[in-house]
Chain A
Amino acid sequence: MTKCRISRRRFIQGTASVGAALASMSSFRLLTGGSSAVAEPQQGVTFAQNWCEMCFWKCGLTAKVVNGKVRKLEGQPDCPSNYGKLCAKGNAGVFQLYDPDRLKTPLIRDGERGSGKFRKATWEEAAAYVAQKVNELKEKYGPETFSIFAHGSGEHSFVELVEIIGSPNYCIPSYAQCTGSRDIGWALSYGKPVGGKEPVDSQNSKCMMLLGRNIVEALHVGEMQDFVEGVAKGAHVIYVDPRFTKTAAKANQYMMIKPGTDSALLLGMINYIIEKEIYNKEFVENYTYGFDQFKEHVAGYTVEWASKETEIPQEEIIKAAEKLCEAAPHCYIHPGRRLTRYGNDTQFTRIVACLNMLMGNWEVRGGIYRTIGFKYDAPHMVHFDKPYADRADGAGSEEFPLGPKNLGFANKLMEHIANQDVYPLKGMFVYGCNPLHHHGSTEMVKKALENTELLVTCEIYMTDTAWLSDVIFPESTYLERYDPVISTGRRKGYIQFREPAVSPVFDTKGGWEIAKILSGAMGHENEFLDVQEYNRQAFETLGITEEYMKKHGVWVANENTPYPVEDEGEEPSFRTPSGKAEFYSNICEHFSYPPMPSYEENPVPPEGEFRLLFGRLSFHTHARTQNNAWLLALHKSEVPLWIHTEKAKALGIKDGMSVRLVKEGFKSNPCTARVVDYIHPQAVFLPYGFGHETKGLTRITGKGARTSDFTSNLTDPISGAAGFHNGFVKVEIA
């Protein structure tokens, strides 16, 4: 029996014809079908170097190309991001490349927003259209009326385009909607942010404590490899989460915490460690600031109190504290990654940092290592004058003096677009991200999009945001384009190289090329470098050859020790006002924030409602990969909703049933109930990135719930970043 379906192989054989064959269900399909004519592919087996763009960890990879088709991706053995390994997402990059759901040509909206009616356009036509609109809006509202939300390796192409237009309003959402609070809290304590590649030395650690940092499922290859090494070597792993995750499966000690009380747990442990005087006295005495005040400050946070707040037995809390101190300094308490939970996450990170200070684990094995980066005089893709206007979002303003202007507050900017309360913000660019998913409130984003007179998206897929756009530029995937070389830092500093494995499969271009076309169409005279020329200049400065990079893909440039305190007897030093790690933050005092972190109670869901927790599955990234058939097959296209057995029973929900999330009358698409004992009864858990509205993601549209329809959208008073986890929902049988 032959099942009626279209195989991937046949897609690869003739993408153009299949695109046409599928074009019957909507006008959108008709418009996106077809492919560009490409040069005759090279025969035989060749290899091309790249770094993975399926998530943002930048694993080095080599693409195997057989007769002009990418057949397989494998990790570069020497790349310190991943040492030869790739995860499920990385391996599925091949499917993404040849996915018939990709955007295949520039599109201009040809109907109501949301109708999904687009017409195919040539690059010149689309660029001219955007240029004309942009120049009109600029004339009418001033250049600062434009905003850009950008994420990914090519983000700076569009960021710089918007700066050329003259607007300062560019946002990298990974600050406000991911790591912002964590990095600010860490910097207040240690004088520098954690950084995108968390410098926790899991592989040598004797004890690791993770608070909801689900390393195994919110997966980055290098970080997870270190963790598994540590586990295999017998480290004591303490995992704290309202839900028993796959990371918990690897833990020696799992504590099911009442959601929203992590600070209480840590403060209780800190109190115990100080009371029992089992902290690292040498470090605390010599390298920290404000310990005595801090000791007094936490005196009230007894273990008994913490136990009551967190619902964790006292013995467990004490055991965790003692295990950490026994292992100190070869231990760490993980600062987290996406720390946008309750709108007070900066102070939470301060508590984490303080506990780490008590361990004295700075730049030693098994603790917090020093990120070894590599700086060089990198060329510029384009030169331009910095815009003069003030940012609309308030990053770096009096209200949020610590907010970094080079990252911006994606959350606040979107709010101001929705409310139009700073100055007119009428033009929006979106590059590689999806505001309808990553913001705390879909409603607010929709309002903002309504206020936007021009919405331009540069994407590889028809995302929810692209679906509502006026003009869409299809970007080449990472396997089809050059990008400027990047310098990455972990335990070593290294340079990574990206070259196209194949010519674009469809009529697409790289982000820099698109930015150049648009800039030219708008009449700007700024010269964009060709990416290959940029790389040639960079290689010259670096003293390496292009041949070397084509062969290896990665060049390890800096091999200084990441454990200078341990290996070279270096004195720990910190770029804080006191020059020490600060229990008592001088900067906080200066800006009238509480200089020492206290416990703040978070609201509890009312009877009959649940706190919505969300996070990643180990085989999906953000809202980007859900439509990838290879990854969908891993979970049979099901979107699970975890709910506690007792609560499910009371609602009549059985495992495997179809259920919906409900909030203020709004109902989600159906999810599949996972009725389990290992989630806290106050919470339900939903994997992030489902519930797409767009009709362009044919395999996943309408499946599961979109978290941003149900989350809270709080603002951390210090970092300005968002807080999502105070969203309360009801669950009903679909």
Chain B
Amino acid sequence: MNATKTKKFAMAYIVDRCVDCKACMVACKAEWQIPDNDFRTHIDTGIAPAATDRLSMHFLPHQCNHCDDAPCVTVCPTKASHKREDGVVDIDNRKCVGCRYCIPSCPYNARFFNNELGVADKCTFCLPRIYDGLMPACVTTCPGKARVFGDINDPESEISKALKDAADNRYRVWTLRKDLGTEPNIYYIQK
């Protein structure tokens, strides 16, 4: 029997390496020809707390979490939003009626309405680019190498190594809004 397991794509952000330069946002826009005012990935700049003894500012990259139990897939009436075998939550543009219901359904603000195409739009982990042997555009361009991508079912992939390294070193690893049970596939790693 064939020993190859199914793929499960995931991404990790090494938060310490993110400097909020927004290169990922623009690379993604160029790769996918996203309308001028929209982005498939974002970096939020957080300032916390307002004024205490120690100032701090942190940067939160985010995009579609490709949830295992994705609310957008649940609520999509036409099954245009669907979860693929390889873990990617994809939108079939041919099926999308553009009802926008999935947009507020996403706890991660990952989706936006693409006014040029009349459909919901979001990150696809750069399908089919990742099957051409390339990394997603955001990973390729990230100057700080904050983004790590790969198949978490493959122990040799960069993401598996990054997660293992984080576990070995007891770095903080978390996902966003775990409380909602969406089982997201974007990991945050911080020393």
Given A7-B35, A677-B55, are A225 and B144 also a contact pair (CB < 8 Å)?
Answer: yes
Judge whether B50 and A85 touch: CB under 8 Å: no
The segment out of B135-143, B150-158, B179-187 that lies at the interface is: B135-143
> Which residue of A7, A231, A677, A678 contacts B116 across the interface (Cβ within 8 Å)?
A7
Contact A677 B23, beta carbon cutoff 8 Å: no
CB under 8 Å from chain B, chain A span 56-92: 71-75, 82, 84-92
Q: Does A380 contact B (CB under 8 A)?
A: no
Q: Report B61 CB to chain A, min CB distance, Å.
A: 13
B1-44 vs A, Cβ < 8 Å mask (1 yes, 0 no): 00000000000001011011111011101110101111100000
In the assembly, what is the distance between CA of A410 and CA of B137, in Å? 40
List chain A residues, Cβ under 8 A from B21: 87-88, 216, 219, 224, 618-619
| Minimum distance in angstroms from B91 CB to a CB of chain A | 18
Q: Which of A3, A85, A94, A221 has the most CB of B within 10 A?
A: A85
Tell whether, in the assembled complex, residue B19 and residue A678 are in contact, meaning their CB atoms are under 8 Å apart.
Answer: no
- A72-B30, A73-B30 known; A85+B20 contact, CB < 8 A: no
Q: Is the CB of B142 within 8 A of A630?
A: no
Interface flags for A219-247 (1: CB within 8 Å of B; 0: not) read: 10100110010011000000000001011
| A74-B140, A232-B17 known; A254-B55 Cβ under 8 A | yes
Asked if A631 CB lies within 8 Å of chain B CBs, one says: yes
With the chains together, A167 CA to B140 CA distance in Å?
47
Judging by beta carbons under 8 Å apart, are B144 and A228 in contact?
yes
Does any Cβ of A come within 8 Å of B145's Cβ? Answer: yes
Bound CA span A1–B119, Å: 11
- Are B30 and A634 touching (Cβ within 8 A)? no
Minimum distance in angstroms from A190 CB to a CB of chain B = 29
Complex Cα gap A471–B4 (Å): 66
B115 within 8 A of A: yes
Q: A232-B16, A677-B51 are in contact. Are A631 and B26 (CB under 8 A)?
A: yes
Question: Could you list 29 A-B pairs, sorted by A, with CB under 8 Å?
Answer: A1-B115, A2-B118, A8-B33, A72-B137, A73-B30, A75-B140, A87-B141, A88-B22, A88-B23, A90-B23, A91-B26, A91-B27, A91-B30, A95-B30, A216-B19, A219-B21, A228-B144, A231-B17, A232-B17, A247-B19, A249-B58, A254-B55, A618-B20, A618-B21, A629-B37, A630-B36, A634-B25, A634-B26, A677-B50
Interface residues on B, range: 35 or more
Residues on A with C-beta less than 8 A from B57 are 244, 246, 248-249, 678
Known: A2-B118, A72-B30. A246 touches B25 (CB 8 A): no
In this complex, what residue of A is CB-closest to B58?
A: A249
Candidates B16, B55, B58, B142; contact of A85 at CB < 8 Å: B142
Bound complex: CA of A580 vs CA of B59, how far in Å? 44
B residues 54-79 near A (Cβ < 8 Å) are 55-59
Taking CB atoms and an 8 Å cut-off, the chain B residues in 132-180 that contact chain A are 137, 140-146
The answer for the CA separation of A248 and B54 in the assembled complex, in Å, is 12
Q: CB within 8 A of B36: which of A228, A231, A629, A677? A: A629
Contacts of A5 in B (CB 8 A): 115
- Does B127 sit within 8 A of A, measured CB to CB? no
Which residue of chain B lies nearest to A247 when distances are taken between CB atoms in the complex? B19
| A676 on the B face (CB < 8 A) | yes
Q: Is the CB of A246 within 8 A of B50?
A: no
The smallest C-beta distance from B168 to any residue of chain A, in angstroms, reads 16
- Using a CB-CB cutoff of 8 Å, which residues 622-645 of chain A contact chain B? 629-631, 633-634, 645
Q: Is B47 an interface residue (CB 8 A)?
A: yes
B27 to chain A, nearest CB (A): 5
Smallest beta-carbon distance B143→chain A, Å: 4
Contact of A228 among B23, B26, B38, B143 (CB under 8 A): B143
- B contact residues around A631 at 8 Å (CB): 26
Query: From residue A79, how far is it (CB to closest CB) to chain B in Å?
Result: 13
Question: Is B116's CB under 8 angstroms from A87's CB?
Answer: no
The reply to whether A228 and B145 form a contact with Cβ atoms under 8 Å apart is yes
In the assembled complex, the Cα of A197 lies from the Cα of B125 at a distance in Å of: 35
